[in-house]
Structure 1
Amino acid sequence: MVSLSAVQASNSRIATTFGPGSVAVFVGATSGIGETSLKQFARHSQAPRIYFIGRSQEAGDRITGELEALNKEGTYVFVKADVSLVKVVDNVCRGIKSKEKAINLLFLTQGSLHFHTETAEGLHTVASLNFYSRNRFIVNLLPLIQQASGLRRVITIFAGTYEGPIYENDFQAREVPMMKARGHMVSMITLFLEAVAKKAPNVTFIHGYPGAVEGGLLRDPRGVAMYVMKVAWKVVGPFITISTLECGERHAFLATSSKYPAREGGDAGVPLDDGIAIAQGTDGEVGSGVYSVDQFGENAGPKVTAILSRFREEGMVEKVWNHTEEEFKRITGTVAAL
């Protein structure tokens, strides 16, 4: 476990390690986990330029003011968008690409627990936000991330280290039992990161689990099961949650620490303190560029490593990649926005 004090010590050196002008994109950043992660990265950075995307203009305006109070040297651009739609993701990315030549950090937290609903593009809503939308941002912005000097990272926050069986005949998890859906989606996310990493070995990819944090996913429950979960959370939540501040600090650490290097180097990070080791990648090798990490920043254990190894042997990385490209082509006609 990386202690909170070690996390804070590392974060205190972010500004001096990277200098001014880091460019970051935070998606799903107007509440909960995304908001606290955005704020801690902004607070510790030197004159950052940050784009953050969400659905609420009111929340965007509020957070912009709070970011300016945290770090007046930064530039903060809110983009109002419903990123459950892949075509909207493309529009957002085109706007960012028209203004930037390089991006240091892409941080993704958009999500939904709306089972049994569908987007206008024919995607299961849960899968659209947690998987397709996030991955569309990745493939669209990856060329700019590869152009960055120093820090080059993609972080998606869902439930890393909880990889489970994949239902190959139902990638969108339309009929996957709710109790099995998390493991299915977690594995899909991790395997997609592995596929992208093959094309960008100079970029770090992290699938993180935030722990028990009041993240906002249950603020608008639909269906009996979701209401039951919301009630149960109110009862047990206070006993198991970590603070949103700690969550944000730990995510700033994921975004900047040398503990998580790219496979082929070039992804600079805050130097490690004594006693903190480079993380083991999803392939079981130390420092291999793709990481599935728990709420304390440590890599998944041998059980998950074995599951992912079996998926690779079965060609599942390629199957997930090909399926995702097929859906992107069906919806937009291209594998990535131009």
Structure 2
Amino acid sequence: MHRSSLRLLLSSLLVALIALFFYSTAGMPTLAAVRNANAAFNPSYKPIAIFVGGTSGIGQGIAEAFARHTRGAAHIVIVGRNRAAADAIIAQFPKPDNNKTQYTHEFVQCDVTLMNNVEAVTKDLLARMPKINFLVMSPGYMTMRGRDETEEGLDKKFAVHYYARWKFVNDLLPALRRAKEAGEDSKVLSVLAAGKGAEIDLDDLGLKKTFSAPKIAFQAPTYNDLMMQEFAARNPGITFIHAYPGAVRTSLMASSDSRWIRASSPLVLGLLYPFTTSLHETGEYMLHGLLNRKEGFWRVGSRAEDLGMKNYFGSEEARKRLWEHTVKATAVSSS
């Protein structure tokens, strides 16, 4: 076998084995039960929902599920880089039958690897939104590169999986609080890998000195745990959820900057097909996890089941030090 073909096969099998290791459906709610619960969502107010990373993958699935169950009668904002993809998604959203029902479905462009871009978008949203009921964040970035810094000094993968998410929540808190004060839903969902983390390196927050692909893969989930837990502690009455979606059939591998990952994508997806869920199914499960959690900090699994503090690697000291680090790391220069 040619060396490149062997490498492709081995890398594909490795990814497949990792996903199989994490796969389990014991004690989880059925898809039918989840759909029925989501269909019962019928708020007395007009919800406003922001989907960061909603132009593809899991974010798209959740946005579509939300539009489906609100029957389009909501203000839905998709934040991402691909306008054409967003327009195609929005075009399929249901439109309310009642002409008196006001709704807005829109796209806001943002490359979330840069905090400057995130701040520009959050300022615009705050200026236009009387409130925000749901903030869903699921942007993804797959790469095999080493540390790849942006002009702001943050690793791109870390910026997408953690720093931009923190900044979206922090900047949009005034609108989330207004929803809570009105007696409406006020909820935040970060979709990454709850329960799949490890102890974080408090001596190298941001991994400037000890970066590696495996290390960031296990550090980022714990960063998200600590982020959501600290936001919940600082904002009583608002719901903060970190979710693990499981193995999902998305285009993330096919869009990787690694040609080996792109080339192995069809093989890996084929091997994992029996153990993966579609965007439609995952959207339903993640939406269920969002709609059916009350105030406070939550961690949910791939079928929206409550993970509790299983495989939690945080501490009060880690939360405090990570928060202080993140405030500085995400600060945008006035110049």
TM-score band by shorter chain is 0.7 to 0.9
Contact 2:239 2:294 in 1 (8 A): yes
Equivalent residue number for residue 265 of structure 1: none
Q: Distance in 1 between matches of 2:228 and 2:107?
A: 26
Equivalent residue number for residue 294 of structure 2: 261
Q: How many residues align?
A: 298
Q: Does 1:50 align with 2:52?
A: no
Contact 1:23 1:102 in 2 (8 A): yes
Secondary structure in 2 matching 1:156: strand
Equivalent residue number for residue 104 of structure 2: 75
Among residues 255, 259, 262, which one is paired with 1:220 in the alignment?
255
Deviation at 1:228, TM superposition (A): 7.4
Contact 1:54 1:80 in 2 (8 A): yes
Q: Distance in 1 between matches of 2:309 and 2:77?
A: 37
Q: Distance in 2 between matches of 1:42 and 1:127?
A: 29
Equivalent residue number for residue 297 of structure 1: 304
Contact 1:161 1:301 in 2 (8 A): no
Q: Distance in 1 between matches of 2:108 and 2:227?
A: 26
Deviation at 1:36, TM superposition (A): 1.0
Equivalent residue number for residue 324 of structure 2: 322
1:35-64 CA distances to partner (integer Å, 9 max, x unpaired)? 110010011115111111111111122112
Q: Distance in 1 between matches of 2:307 and 2:232?
A: 18
Output aligned runs, 1:236-315, within 5 Å: 236-257=271-292, 260-262=293-295, 289-300=296-307, 303-305=310-312, 307-308=313-314, 311-312=315-316, 315=317
Contact 2:81 2:111 in 1 (8 A): yes
Q: Cα gap change, 1:326/1:71 in structure 2, threshold over 3 Å: closer, same or farther?
A: farther
Equivalent residue number for residue 17 of structure 2: none
Q: Cα gap change, 1:220/1:303 in structure 2, threshold over 3 Å: closer, same or farther?
A: same
Residue identity opposite 2:126 in structure 1 = K
Q: Distance in 2 between matches of 1:231 and 1:244?
A: 16
User: What's the TM-score, normalizing by structure 2?
Assistant: 0.82
Unaligned runs of 5+ in 1: 263-288
Higher RCO (CA < 8 A, seq sep 6+): 2
Contact 1:43 1:70 in 2 (8 A): no
Unaligned runs of 5+ in 2: 1-27
* Identical columns (%): 27
Q: Distance in 2 between matches of 1:216 and 1:200?
A: 35
Q: Does 1:11 align with 2:13?
A: no
Output aligned runs, 1:99-178, within 5 Å: 99-114=128-143, 115-116=145-146, 117-148=148-179, 149-173=183-207, 175-178=210-213
Deviation at 1:241, TM superposition (A): 0.7
1:166-208 CA distances to partner (integer Å, 9 max, x unpaired)? 1223332454443332221100111011111121011110000
Contact 2:190 2:242 in 1 (8 A): yes
Q: Cα gap change, 1:57/1:188 in structure 2, threshold over 3 Å: closer, same or farther?
A: same
Q: Distance in 1 between matches of 2:301 and 2:97?
A: 29
Residue identity opposite 1:30 in structure 2 = T
Secondary structure in 1 matching 2:311: helix
1:256-283 CA distances to partner (integer Å, 9 max, x unpaired)? 11xx211xxxxxxxxxxxxxxxxxxxxx
Q: Cα gap change, 1:177/1:119 in structure 2, threshold over 3 Å: closer, same or farther?
A: closer
Q: Distance in 1 between matches of 2:115 and 2:97?
A: 32
Q: Distance in 2 between matches of 1:177 and 1:232?
A: 25
Q: Does 1:191 align with 2:226?
A: yes
Equivalent residue number for residue 61 of structure 1: 87
Q: Cα gap change, 1:316/1:78 in structure 2, threshold over 3 Å: closer, same or farther?
A: same
RMSD: 2.3
Residue identity opposite 1:8 in structure 2 = R
Q: Distance in 2 between matches of 1:325 and 1:172?
A: 12
1:117-158 CA distances to partner (integer Å, 9 max, x unpaired)? 222212100000110111100000011101103211000000
User: What's the TM-score, normalizing by structure 1?
Assistant: 0.81
Residue identity opposite 1:43 in structure 2 = R
Equivalent residue number for residue 280 of structure 1: none
Q: Cα gap change, 1:137/1:71 in structure 2, threshold over 3 Å: closer, same or farther?
A: farther
Q: Cα gap change, 1:229/1:139 in structure 2, threshold over 3 Å: closer, same or farther?
A: farther
Q: Distance in 2 between matches of 1:100 and 1:224?
A: 41
